[in-house]
């Protein structure tokens, strides 16, 4: 089973992490954690996670999204989610996290929603 | 639904992430073979994965000396998955509610909740040592 792949790009002061694959216990979750920590350490505090090509996420991956969100917030940053697949959307609904995250389905409006 | 004939697969696996993946893949294959639609196959395989994670991580704590057992049984009425570990035992009554406002932003503690959300029946059995989770998905409406 392949793990997650993450590529990074900058648009108007927002760092977009384009993620694909599986965010699960082990490598996938660790990669996400490290990527967000690296950005915050470099004071890149406007983070948009593009989950459009994330095919699978388990409870560990959900926990990692929550931890990334709270870590960014605690350091004065913002973390938003973009392009949820139906399965990830449903998981966030079931766990009552959908309203905790700021979820967007359009990249331009997501970028515009960051407080800059 | 198909699955008119009972069948059973049992594995004894080490306490590793490879075992977690194998349980998930087997659950997916068994659920597909039983005739569930794609959404139900996803729910069953995810519940099985979460149970295996629980056994490997929280039960056996990745111990090389401990094993998990996983069985997959299709009966005319149900798909029954049993995952057992050799850990200290899990009392489900002690698990915090992940939907409680104080727990909502916790980074863990959603596995058992998802299993219960995705399966029709979930049973815990203390093995002394260890815990066995039985996950049941009905093949036909009751």
CA distances B32 to A15, A41, B25, Å, are 40, 45, 11
8 Å CB contact of B53 and A63: no
8 Å CB contact of B114 and A63: no
User: What's the token pair of residue A77?
Assistant: 């940053």
User: What CATH number does the domain containing A85 carry?
Assistant: 3.30.750.24
Which domain covers residue A94, as residue numbers? Answer: 5-112
User: What CATH number does the domain containing B103 carry?
Assistant: 3.30.565.10
Using CA atoms, how far apart are residues B97 and A9, in angstroms rounded to an integer? 37
Which domain covers residue B76, as residue numbers? Answer: 7-138
Cis amide leading into A27 (omega within 30): no
Interface of B with A in 9-68 (CB under 8 A): 17, 20-21, 24-25, 42, 46, 49-50, 53, 57
pTM: 0.92
Domain count, chain A: 1
Counting one residue from chain A and one from chain B, the pairs whose CB atoms sit within 8 A come to 49
Q: How far apart are the first and last CA of chain A?
A: 39
pLDDT at A115: 83
**Residues A16-27 pLDDT 10s:** 999 999 999 988
CB-closest option in A25, A91, A97 to B20 = A25
Q: Would B100 be classed as within a structural domain?
A: yes
Using CA atoms, how far apart are residues B53 and B14, in angstroms rounded to an integer? 12
Domain count, chain B: 1
Q: Would B2 be classed as within a structural domain?
A: no
Per-residue pLDDT at A28 exceeds 90: no
Measured between beta carbons, which residues in chain A are less than 8 angstroms from residue B99?
95-96
Q: Would B1 be classed as within a structural domain?
A: no
Mutate one of A2, A58, A61, A98 to test the B interface: name it (highest B CB count within 10 A). Answer: A58
Q: Categorize the per-residue pLDDT at B135 as very low, low, confident or very high, splitting at 50, 70 and 90.
A: very high
Q: Is A27 exposed, middle or buried (0-12, 13-18, 19+ CB in 10 A)?
A: middle
Looking at the complex, report in whole angstroms how far the Cα of residue A102 sits from the nearest Cα belonging to chain B: 14
Q: Would B109 be classed as within a structural domain?
A: yes
User: What's the token pair of residue B87?
Assistant: 């850990």
3-state helix/strand/coil string of chain B: CCCCCCEEEEEEEECCHHHHHHHHHHHHHHHHHHCCCHHHHHHHHHHHHHHHHHHHHHHCCCCCCCEEEEEEEECCCEEEEEEECCCCCCCHHHCCCCCCCCCCCCCCCCHHHHHHHHCCEEEEEECCCCEEEEEEEECCCC
**Residues B63-102 pLDDT 10s:** 999 999 999 999 999 999 999 999 999 989 999 999 999 9
């Amino acid at each position: 089973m392949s793990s997650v792949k993450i590529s990074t790009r900058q648009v108007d002061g927002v760092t977009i992490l384009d993620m694909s694959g599986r965010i699960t216990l082990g490598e996938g979750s660790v990669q996400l954690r490290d990527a967000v920590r690296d950005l915050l350490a470099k004071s890149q505090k406007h983070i948009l996670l593009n989950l459009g090509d994330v095919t699978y996420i388990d409870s560990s991956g959900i926990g990692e999204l929550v931890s990334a969100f709270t870590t960014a917030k605690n350091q004065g940053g913002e973390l938003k989610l973009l392009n949820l697949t139906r399965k990830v959307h449903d998981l966030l609904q079931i766990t009552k996290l959908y309203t905790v995250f700021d979820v967007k389905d359009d990249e331009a409006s997501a970028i515009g929603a960051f407080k800059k | 639904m198909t699955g008119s004939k009972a069948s059973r697969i049992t594995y004894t696996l080490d306490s590793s992430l490879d075992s977690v993946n194998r349980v998930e893949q087997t659950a997916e294959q068994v659920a597909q073979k039983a005739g569930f639609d794609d959404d139900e196959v996803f729910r069953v395989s995810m519940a099985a994965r979460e149970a295996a994670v629980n056994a490997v991580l929280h039960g056996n704590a990745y111990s090389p000396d401990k094993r998990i057992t996983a069985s997959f049984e299709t009966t005319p009425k149900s798909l029954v998955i049993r995952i057992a570990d050799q850990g200290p035992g899990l009392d489900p009554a002690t698990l915090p509610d992940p939907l409680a406002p104080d727990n909502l932003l916790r980074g863990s503690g959603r596995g058992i909740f998802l299993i219960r959300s995705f399966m029709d029946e979930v049973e815990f059995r203390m093995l002394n040592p260890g815990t066995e989770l039985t996950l049941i998905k009905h093949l036909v409406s009751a």
